[in-house]
A and B are shown apart, each in its own frame.
Chain A
Amino acid sequence: MLRFLLAKLLYLIPTFIGITIVAFGFVRVLPGDPVLLMAGERGISPERHAELSAQLGYDRPFLVQYADFVAGLFQGDFGTSLVTKKPVFDEFLSLFPATVELAVCAILIATLVGVPVGVIAAIKRGSLFDQISMTGALVGFSMPIFWWGLLLIIFFSGTLGWTPVSGRISLLYYFDNVTGFMLIDSLLSGQEGAFASAVSHLILPSIVLATIPLAVIARQTRSAMLEVMGEDYVRTARAKGLSQRRVVSVHALRNAMIPVITTIGLQVGVLMAGAILTETIFSWPGIGKWMIDSISRRDYPVVQSGLLMIAAIVMIVNLIVDLTYGLINPRIRHK
């Protein structure tokens, strides 16, 4: 197991170097620069432009800037936002819990709904349930998130008035952030109704963010189950006279879970991408919205370090997924 872990960790090193290059290069490949955007319609003389670029260090060769960026990373310095003039890492820390809270709720919804739906669809292959759920999954997978979010807001918040429109908690409640996770902080605050308010604010954005992963997980579970259900050992189990429930839960599901867990792990990347739109619609103060704002302002340090941190998180989650296989399927860890 230790060797397995070490091998996986070794793979991370080249990946991480690759990510620093992509993160650094990405924002610089985009046309336009922060100084021009700051000046706006007023324009800026070439002299002043050069002066400001020099002050920000963007007149230096790319390689020097890159070396500077990487050297900073080794010292734990992720740079300073050009716009807010605050350390990028501090901003990240203040926004990250909001994204995690939303993403965890979304992945829970996607898994807790997607896996059972997939299993039932596989067992009752060709049934009405199968057809409806798989069509639903196709629609969910193709859903334009922005439109979907707005539609839910207009219906549930506007017409029915069941859920709040946007934000993380009613503005009636005001307390200090202890953990940054609103569900926890609202409980810690001891204010009556705060937790319920936080939950009600989480419902729509979690559903919207869960939509695509849910569709993917349901389809993946169904096809993995179908494959496993055709295996010899399932037939043997059936022949032994085991109940359908036991065949499915003990023999089929456990084996079908391996590709499903891979899929769930990969959805973390999808969630990060989905968070950008979901957070913008629901005014959710997380890192997705932060990245969008920073890209449109060409806030180089925020974009490059933000991308790097997001990529690192996705990598770590995938590492954990890899390790989970080892637990579920001993053959993988001994290979």
Chain B
Amino acid sequence: MTRYVRRLAAASALALAAAAPAAAKTFIYCSEASPEGFDPAPYTAGTTFDASAHPIYSRLVEFKKGTTEIEPGLAESWEVSEDGTEITFHLRQGVAWQSNDIFTPSREFNADDVIFSFDRQGNADNPMHGYLPGITYEYFSAMEMGDLIASVEKIDDYTVKFTLTRPEAPFMANLAMPFASIASAEYADTLMEAGNTEDFNNKPIGTGPFSFVAYQKDAVIRYRKNADFYGDAPAIDDLVFAITPDASVRLQKLKAGECHLMPYPAPADIADIQADENLKLDSQPGLNVAYLAYNTTIAPFDNPKVRKALNMAMNKEAIIDAVFQGAGEVAKNPIPPTMWSYNDAIEDDAYDPEAAKAMLEEAGVSDLNMQIWAMPVQRPYMPNARRTAELMQADFAEIGVNVEIVSYEWGEYLKKSTDPSREGAVILGWTGDNGDPDNFLAVLLSCAATGDGGSNRAQWCDDEFSDLITKAKQVSDQAERAKLYEQAQVVFKDQAPWATIAHSTQYVPMRANVEGFVMSPLGDFTFETVDIAE
């Protein structure tokens, strides 16, 4: 028996050695799920982008590390025409494509690759458009790129002109999103010739800081440092994703030294992580919001006074404590405080059941019965919707409002909650895609997003608010845009189509010897700046 134990100990010492840096520095990331594939364009999951767009690919413009500001990427500079509809990009020269066992690039990155990367998504006649069975380009269509881009022209090998159908200030932020990653036109041609186009998704080729080595489904993804990367070369030699779906197991792996960094710890484990001297914990407010959307087209919720009264009856601090376990902050605006144009001058409706009751009476409403919808799943912005709904139920009971809590399977919930004739108020939320306020305010609260299948769950269409956000989309000066969005938030607060609940905090636990990791407000996990201290 002792010998057996000794052998076991030897085996596990080996396993522990996996995390120790040998001659080549290997960084292990315990990711939470498997990527859907490695082509960033057809997919929508953040975990897919962490495995594809961020390590392997680059974009014309990039989000500056740790911010949502735009900085040059594959485009060194750009000019925007006076009317805002023409953008000319000057491309970086000397950027090498990665290679693999089936492809050796004959040329460097140029304008043809930019044109190919957008054409393959928007143009159904592009030979690569339908290269996988049932492929769709969800982000390209969700960001309305098809309607927005009139043309992409090659001026010369290193100059590309985008012509838009209308001025659209958030367009540049869209170009920094994963779906806008630039892929190699030559690689696509090579694969089409060989008749194995699916390798475009299986064996990705990009210009990013790491090149793809191998993926063993549901288990491990391996990358190697791209020595030819145009930016600062990564400090680590090998990057490994160890796919570990359970949060408690991820933490055990981190503690055992089987990985260096993990995403999404369970809220209950935060204190334990803070107490462990082998670990450290980074945190920042997430770019998200959780809200309760009233159906503003149905009486009595069509009366702003009723909505306001309910908002005043809601004890949000209690929700932060009980549901978020402190890992969040009370939301007063529909956009998070880390986003530019956040209007901090706005005062939240104070928690005041007496005043709420009086306001409800003033609105002529008594014996109100209502539904609160609680989604059945945990989301980054909402750890437990059911518990939140129960707290609201108790709060509303104090002012004489009787709440029935309902729930549906997640897919049904998403669909039924968009029904314009829906009864009841819906708990839901949003995580930003590109850091632009338009990505919250227009997606969630514009008139265009009302109706069946739309993302404006309050069915709220306010002329003043609409004018402000439409105007803010058309001017390109950010200070001017910020002013318009600040005003829009005043209108929102006054009209109260939602009760804004919370912005959740994002935590990233890592080994104490990890250096240089920068948290992204967009929730991305990127590793070109990380290093492991000896």
Which of the candidate stretches A20-28, A77-85, A107-115, A208-216 sits at the interface with the other chain? A77-85
Whether a CB of chain A sits under 8 angstroms from the CB of B258 is yes
Q: Return B487 CB to nearest CB of chain A, in Å.
A: 25
Q: Return A170 CB to nearest CB of chain B, in Å.
A: 4
Contact (A41, B219) CB under 8 Å given A158-B256, A171-B26: no
In the bound complex, how far is the Cα of B177 from the Cα of A18, in angstroms?
47
Contact (A172, B17) CB under 8 Å given A55-B134, A283-B242: yes
Q: Which of A23-61 contact B (CB under 8 A)?
A: 30-33, 36-46, 48-49, 52, 55-56
Q: Return B261 CB to nearest CB of chain A, in Å.
A: 14
In the bound complex, how far is the Cα of B412 from the Cα of A75, in angstroms?
34
Task: Assess whether A196 is in contact with B11, with CB atoms less than 8 Å apart.
Answer: yes
CB-defined contacts of B243 to chain A, threshold 8 Å: 283, 285
Contact (A32, B15) CB under 8 Å given A46-B453, A85-B37: no
CB-defined contacts of B453 to chain A, threshold 8 Å: 43-46, 48-49
Q: Which of A33, A38, A46, A199 contacts B11 (CB 8 A)?
A: A199
Task: Assess whether A166 is in contact with B219, with CB atoms less than 8 Å apart.
Answer: no
In the bound complex, how far is the Cα of B354 from the Cα of A179, in angstroms?
71
Task: Assess whether A36 is in contact with B455, with CB atoms less than 8 Å apart.
Answer: no
CB-defined contacts of B527 to chain A, threshold 8 Å: none
Whether a CB of chain A sits under 8 angstroms from the CB of B368 is no
Task: Assess whether B14 is in contact with A170, with CB atoms less than 8 Å apart.
Answer: yes
Whether a CB of chain A sits under 8 angstroms from the CB of B142 is yes
Contact (A40, B409) CB under 8 Å given A46-B453, A200-B11: no
In the bound complex, how far is the Cα of B218 from the Cα of A158, in angstroms?
23
Closest to A203 in B: B8
Report A199-228 CB contacts with B as 1/0, cut-off 8 Å: 111010000000000000000000000000
CB-defined contacts of B138 to chain A, threshold 8 Å: 38-39
Whether a CB of chain B sits under 8 angstroms from the CB of A72 is no
Task: Assess whether B142 is in contact with A42, with CB atoms less than 8 Å apart.
Answer: yes
In the bound complex, how far is the Cα of B346 from the Cα of A215, in angstroms?
63
Whether a CB of chain A sits under 8 angstroms from the CB of B483 is no
Q: Which of A150-183 contact B (CB under 8 A)?
A: 150, 153-154, 157-158, 161-168, 170-172, 174, 177
Which of the candidate stretches B165-173, B245-253, B511-519 sits at the interface with the other chain? B245-253
Q: Which of A41, A55, A86, A167 contacts B428 (CB 8 A)?
A: A41
Could you say which of A41, A161, A298 has the most chain B C-beta atoms within 10 Å of its C-beta? A41
CB-defined contacts of B245 to chain A, threshold 8 Å: 280, 283, 289
Task: Assess whether B244 is in contact with A283, with CB atoms less than 8 Å apart.
Answer: yes
Interface size bracket, A side: 35 or more
Interface size bracket, B side: 35 or more
Q: Return B312 CB to nearest CB of chain A, in Å.
A: 26
Contact (A157, B428) CB under 8 Å given A196-B14, A200-B11, A281-B246: no
Whether a CB of chain B sits under 8 angstroms from the CB of A197 is yes
Q: Return A154 CB to nearest CB of chain B, in Å.
A: 7
Contact (A200, B255) CB under 8 Å given A36-B411, A85-B201, A91-B217: no
CB-defined contacts of A280 to chain B, threshold 8 Å: 245-246
Task: Assess whether A42 is in contact with B455, with CB atoms less than 8 Å apart.
Answer: yes
Q: Return B360 CB to nearest CB of chain A, in Å.
A: 30
Report B208-231 CB contacts with A as 1/0, cut-off 8 Å: 000000101111101000000000
Whether a CB of chain B sits under 8 angstroms from the CB of A144 is no
Whether a CB of chain A sits under 8 angstroms from the CB of B530 is no
Q: Return B212 CB to nearest CB of chain A, in Å.
A: 14
Contact (A162, B5) CB under 8 Å given A171-B220, A200-B12, A285-B216: yes
Task: Assess whether A168 is in contact with B11, with CB atoms less than 8 Å apart.
Answer: no
CB-defined contacts of B455 to chain A, threshold 8 Å: 41-43
In the bound complex, how far is the Cα of B417 from the Cα of A42, in angstroms?
11
Q: Which of A171, A193, A197, A298 contacts B240 (CB 8 A)?
A: A171
Whether a CB of chain A sits under 8 angstroms from the CB of B365 is no
Whether a CB of chain A sits under 8 angstroms from the CB of B452 is yes
Could you say which of A43, A80, A177, A199 has the most chain B C-beta atoms within 10 Å of its C-beta? A43
Task: Assess whether A83 is in contact with B11, with CB atoms less than 8 Å apart.
Answer: no
Q: Which of A84, A161, A285 contacts B219 (CB 8 A)?
A: A285
Closest to A91 in B: B217
Task: Assess whether B242 is in contact with A172, with CB atoms less than 8 Å apart.
Answer: no
In the bound complex, how far is the Cα of B9 from the Cα of A197, in angstroms?
11
Closest to B244 in A: A283
Q: Return A256 CB to nearest CB of chain B, in Å.
A: 30
Q: Which of B14, B42, B222, B410 contacts A37 (CB 8 A)?
A: B410
Whether a CB of chain B sits under 8 angstroms from the CB of A65 is no
Report B454-496 CB contacts with A as 1/0, cut-off 8 Å: 1100000000000000000000000000000000000000000
Q: Which of A41, A153, A172 contacts B252 (CB 8 A)?
A: A153
Given contacts A41-B414, A162-B5, A200-B15, list 11 more A-B pairs with CB under 8 A.
A37-B414, A38-B138, A42-B142, A43-B415, A45-B451, A45-B453, A85-B198, A85-B201, A163-B8, A164-B12, A170-B17
A-B contact pairs, 24 of them (CB 8 A): A31-B411, A32-B412, A32-B415, A36-B415, A41-B455, A42-B455, A44-B453, A49-B453, A95-B218, A161-B256, A162-B8, A163-B15, A164-B258, A165-B252, A166-B244, A167-B220, A171-B258, A172-B17, A196-B11, A197-B11, A197-B14, A285-B217, A285-B243, A293-B218
Which 8 A-B residue pairings sit nearest by Cβ, starting from the closest?
Answer: A32-B411, A200-B11, A285-B218, A164-B15, A285-B219, A85-B132, A36-B411, A45-B453
